[in-house]
Amino acid sequence: MPDTFEALYAPRLKKVFTEQAQQQIAQGADPLNSANMYAEMGKPDFALAFLLLVKRPEEEKRETLAHAYERRAALAEEKANQYNVQFHRPFPLIKLEARRDLRAAQAIRQGRPIPEER
């Protein structure tokens, strides 16, 4: 039996993100809309916090979390390219983080754990 969304990804989440999500929900935020909003902003930790607090199909949760990592990767690539133009030199570490985020998104979509950073 495959691991559940919660079993795979909840241990990665710092308590502060869950507390923030719970606080926002208590103030009237819709958990699913908030998860999607944070995913679009490229903030996977916040998206995950909300996804863990909402009842949705596992596949939908994985897709939203994967999208959050892909958005963060795209935003990091944009930033690296802007810095390259601004400072006239490459920023390989930013691009490395973007590649890690893309690997994380791929693993999430496949229902696997996120690869550990080295």
Residue 117 lies in a domain: no
- Predicted pLDDT at 60: 97
Domain holding 42, by residue range, is 5-109
- Predicted pLDDT at 116: 83
Please write the tens of the pLDDT for every residue from 38-81. Answer: 999 999 999 999 999 999 999 999 999 999 999 999 999 999 99
The answer on pLDDT for 118 being more than 60 is: no
Residue 114 lies in a domain: no
Residue 118 lies in a domain: no
Residue 74 lies in a domain: yes
User: In whole angstroms, how far apart are CA 9 and each of 33, 55, 92?
Assistant: 19, 15, 27
- Confidence band of 1 (pLDDT split at 50, 70, 90): very low
**What is the pTM for the complete model shown?**
0.93
Q: In terms of C-beta density within 10 A (0-12 exposed, 13-18 middle, 19 or more buried), how is residue 11 classed?
A: exposed
34 near 22, Cβ under 8 Å?
no
Residue 116 lies in a domain: no
Residue 41 lies in a domain: yes
Task: Specify the number of domains making up the chain.
Answer: 1
